[in-house]
Amino acid sequence: MDVLLVEDDDSIAVPLADGLRREGFTVTRAASGEEALAAPEADFVLLDIRLPDVDGFTVCRELRARSDVPIIVVSARGEEVDRVVGLELGADDYVVKPFGLRELVARMRAVSRRKSGPRDDAGELKAGPLAVDLRAHRITCDGRELAVTAKEFDLLALLVREAGAVVDRERILRDVWNTTWYGSSKTVDVHVASLRRKLGDPTLIETVRGIGFRLRTP
């Protein structure tokens, strides 16, 4: 797996790159945001936020606009607002420095597994007016195709798979964002609100106060 490591601090980047190579990864380092955006497309991106030129959040947004490459933000900034912003901009996970190499590698592999995506035998999930084509990565509602982001697709696919049942916020963060951080779930509400607008019927996704969300079935 080719990893793009975006980190300007040599004291962090050098040993981290060496450790990743020992784990079997190929590592390309970018010491600035501009270098990261100009680098060849990688299989995985480890992204620091504090960069000498372009803010890491901007890099994350631009990389996500280009592709669905897995991105883990690796930052010393552990405040709730930073985590929420990172996840909402498209990061798949957020790891706070200092961290252990084994934990980081485990998170990378978990994100990669999720990105490969669970598939059912038919490759399609259905519930009420919704049909989720897992292979083509398409969602239709009453035959109308929805323009959704990668995270919205994963979230709605999860709700369709569990149609009629309550899916708690912790599971949504774990399965969709692949994070074990439960300090806040504001990013979940933002994505649910966006899906409700795109579905055209906000009652399809019910809020179960204090627990999570449920896809309403006829």
Pair of tokens at residue 1: 């797996």
In tens, the pLDDT along 38-85 reads 999 999 999 999 999 998 999 999 999 888 899 999 988 877 778 888
| Contacting residues for 114 by C-beta, under 8 A, at least 6 apart | 92, 154, 175, 178
Please report, as a single letter, which amino acid is at residue 166: V
Q: Compute CA distances 119 → 72, 101, 156, whole Å.
A: 23, 30, 14
CB 5 within 8 A of CB 28: yes
pLDDT at 112 over 90: no
Q: What band does 185 get if pLDDT is binned at 50, 70 and 90?
A: low
Residue 132 or 86, more confident: 132
* 192 exposure class (CB count in 10 Å sphere: 0-12, 13-18, 19+): buried
Q: Which domains does the chain have, with CATH numbers?
A: 2-116 (3.40.50.2300), 124-215 (1.10.10.10)
Higher-pLDDT residue of 135, 47? 47
